Amino acid sequence: MEIISGFSKLSKKQKLAWLAAQIAERQSDTNQQEFIADFESYQHRDPKVQKLYDEFSENTLTNFYMPYGLVPNVLMNGKLYAIPLVIEESSVVAAAAGSAKFWLERGGFKAEVIDTKKVGQVHFLWEGDFKKIDVLFDELRELMLDNTALITANMRARGGGILDISLVNMTEVEPNYYQIKATFETCESMGANFINTCLEEFARTLKDWAANSEHFVGREKEPLVVMSILSNYTPECLVRAWVECPVNELGYFEEMPPEMFAYKFSKAIMIAKNDPHRATTHNKGIFNGIDALTLATGNDFRAIEACGHTYASRNGKYQSLTDCSIENGVFKFWIEIPMAVGTVGGLTSLHPLVKKSFEILGNPSVKELMELMAVIGLAQNFGALKSLTTTGIQKGHMKMHLLNILKHFEATENEVKQAVEHFKNNVVSFRSVRDLLDLVRIEQPIA
């Protein structure tokens, strides 16, 4: 690769041409026209639609395809949903669909939003006596509210806005370190831009106020704002979802009686509560479902992941986000997870397939979406634990894996049939499938 200046200013065609030339420089057998055509084959046929996608991000070359799938039959709080999931991993949609069907016959999922508070912070250094600024803080808070009144007008009209502004003394952590910590209600939006705009205004207000306050002298007049930024950790923007049924209605899993299944399931949860090695994988499975719905609804899965995992470590040890109980013959399984999402703003009104997702979900409110997120995470976790504690996951996975490898080798229908039969009792690997296909292709196909 060579250094290039002004890459972002090039047209998409020029960017691709530069890249193709760079690749050709390295691999002389590169057909540059083909390289470019391959990328262009992923463009939307309508240039206006394509332009939309190009402008979501920067230096865009084309669209990366992610499978957009559907999980029908999800019963939540007595209402039936079909849930769109965007996920590149096999088995996730199938597992969610399996869990949805299982619980459909047992009363469905229940869910409720516990709270919807968002958090933001202005971090600053200030050399002075804490008591002095603490006493004056009511004055500063009023000023902050006044100075953001214009910014918050629309949000207040919708029932949201700034809930609280407080001063936090962090000098035990670091000399002179303080925070202005604020909580927000952002209604139907995720609220990042709203919160950050408020916070940057708080920071300006703080500096002006300190500079002009008659109570301060010298360095007291010069707080140093390190940064003003929302927190993605929102433990008070919290949702709970659960399922329950009598143990004996859980049914048989192959030859495993329901009591044994419930017992093993509860031990799997116990392990994920106590062993961070297991908890990581346990929660990873939960996010398989949540991230897929997050993508489908144009929300930000990095924010939701970071928040959920910090929440999982809140007791000083990284733990499972789900829990279960078996009491008086009743099996109960639940999740409690912070979930800062939006149904307006950001990509939600811009990405055409995100708009379709909302249509499929019946244009849910933000609370309903939070609940659906928790439900799909719980469904996913139930599916994973059900497989793990009964047949093991490799049976299903290796079947998918085998089909993927066969696809790679462009196996015919007949070859697929023979391979599936063969690998019922043999270990699937890239090489073993290739070897089998070599064999099958040299001999005559049996049927």
Q: Under a CB-based contact definition with an 8 Å cutoff, are residues 366 and 373 in contact?
A: no
Residue 415 sits in the site that holds a copy of itself (CB under 8 A): no
Q: If you ran DSSP here, which 8-state letter would residue 242 be given?
A: E
Active site residue 40: no
Of residues 153, 174, 158, 119, the one with CA closest to residue 344: 158
Residue 32 sits in the site that holds a copy of itself (CB under 8 A): no
Q: Which is catalytic among the residues 300, 368, 371, 415? A: 300
Distance of CA 43 to the CA centre of its chain: 26
Residue 296 sits in the site that holds a copy of itself (CB under 8 A): yes
Q: Which is catalytic among the residues 12, 264, 273, 284? A: 284
Q: Which residues lie closer than 8 Å to 18 by C-beta, 6 or more apart?
A: 4, 7, 10
Q: Under a CB-based contact definition with an 8 Å cutoff, are residues 334 and 240 in contact?
A: yes
Q: Under a CB-based contact definition with an 8 Å cutoff, are residues 123 and 227 in contact?
A: yes
Judged by CB under 8 A, which of 185, 188, 200, 415 binds a copy of itself?
200
Residue 42 sits in the site that holds a copy of itself (CB under 8 A): yes
**How would you classify the pairing of strands 177-185 and 237-246?**
unpaired
Judged by CB under 8 A, which of 268, 293, 437, 440 binds a copy of itself?
268
Residue 72 sits in the site that holds a copy of itself (CB under 8 A): yes
CB of 215 to a copy of itself, least distance (A): 25
CB of 59 to a copy of itself, least distance (A): 4
Q: Which of positions 388-407 make contact with a copy of itself (CB under 8 A)?
A: 388-389, 392-394, 397-398, 401, 403-404, 407
Within 13 Å of residue 410, how many CA atoms lie on the same side as its CB? 0
Region of 115-123, 213-221, 329-337, 436-444 interacting with a copy of itself (CB under 8 A): 115-123
Question: How many residues in the shown chain lie near a copy of itself by CB under 8 A?
Answer: 152
Residue 64 sits in the site that holds a copy of itself (CB under 8 A): yes
What tokens appear for 337 in the block?
A: 């997870």
Judged by CB under 8 A, which of 32, 77, 183, 197 binds a copy of itself?
197
Active site residue 181: no
Q: Which of positions 355-374 make contact with a copy of itself (CB under 8 A)?
A: 356, 359-360, 362
Q: Under a CB-based contact definition with an 8 Å cutoff, are residues 307 and 343 in contact?
A: no
CA–CA distance, 80 with 239 (Å, rounded to integer): 19
Can you tell me whether residue 374 is helix, strand or coil?
helix
Active site residue 300: yes
- Give φ, ψ of 183 to 5 degrees: -115, 150
Q: Which is nearer to a copy of itself, 213 or 390 (CB)?
A: 390
Active site residue 284: yes
